Amino acid sequence: MSFINVLSREINCKIVYYGPGLCGKTTNLQYIYNKTNPDAKGKMISLATETERTLFFDFLPLALGEIRGFKTRFHLYTVPGQVFYDASRKLILKGVDGVVFVADSQIARTEANLESLENLRTNLAEQAYSLDKLPYVVQYNKRDMPNVAPVEELRALLNPNGVPDFEAVASTGVGVFETLKAVAKLVLTEVKRQAG
């Protein structure tokens, strides 16, 4: 749920990075954090286990500039990818304005990608959201790994509706900002559509 403050002319939106365990959701946020001007970002928070697996969420507040005097602020969240943290994932999706599905391109993770995408649809539906109506983009991450599935194959499996999608290597930053910009743009367009 976007939040517009008329007095301070700010618009705040929530974007959630979703995907199977170890697909690189946190790595996306870390790259964004490392490459963003200190004025434009707040502290990145990671609620992780001792082995650096996401336990609850990562959070990164980010300012993307002004539109006609409106400061645009995005709150980026990741969910814990591991299957048994489903209760936490549901909580983080509350009030979401846009979703990035981070897929792991490795052939061995095909099943995990599909399971996570199905889980995303189910959890959104529980809150009466539909992935088909929400600002949504897909990222095919880990393109630098051996044994990755061809993008066409991933697209056919994970993106049958043809939403904007991007190849990425989050650890080196390839595709990270392209993905973020695409979802942010869709979110702002939706906010404008609702306001109009």
Partner 1 sequence: MTNPQMVMYEEEFTQIQAIVTRLVKEANARVVFVIDKNGQEIAKAGEVEQLDTTSLASLTAGNIAATGGMAKLLRENEFTTQFHEGERANIHIQIVGNRVILVVIFDSKTSLGLVRLRVKKASEELNSIFEALLTKVSDPNREAPFAEITDDDIDNLFND
| CB closer to partner 1, 67 vs 156 | 67
**Which one of residues 21, 22, 45, 157 is an interface residue with partner 1 (CB under 8 A)?**
45
**Which one of residues 83, 91, 108, 156 is an interface residue with partner 1 (CB under 8 A)?**
91
Q: Which stretch binds partner 1 (CB under 8 A): 31-39, 64-72, 113-121, 137-145?
A: 64-72
How many Å apart are CA 166 and CA 109, to the nearest integer? 18
For 75, 105, 120, 142, 183, the CA distances from 17, given in Å and listed in that order, are 11, 16, 11, 15, 10
**Which one of residues 23, 79, 96, 169 is an interface residue with partner 1 (CB under 8 A)?**
96
| CB closer to partner 1, 21 vs 95 | 95
**Which one of residues 53, 121, 143, 181 is an interface residue with partner 1 (CB under 8 A)?**
181
For 16, 95, 164, the CA distances from 1, given in Å and listed in that order, are 12, 5, 22
**Which one of residues 33, 48, 90, 174 is an interface residue with partner 1 (CB under 8 A)?**
90
Residue 7 burial by Cβ neighbours in a 10 Å radius (0-12, 13-18, 19+): exposed
Instruction: Describe the chain by its helix, strand, coil percentages, rounded to 5.
Output: 35, 30, 30
Q: Which two tokens stand for residue 61?
A: 């507040």
Q: Which two tokens stand for residue 41?
A: 């970002």
Distance, CA of 135 to chain centre: 10
| CB closer to partner 1, 51 vs 128 | 128
Residues that bind partner 1 (CB under 8 A): 1-7, 11-12, 14, 42-43, 45, 47, 56-57, 59, 61, 64-68, 70, 72, 75, 87-88, 90-92, 94-97, 128-130, 133-134, 181, 184-185, 188-192, 194-196
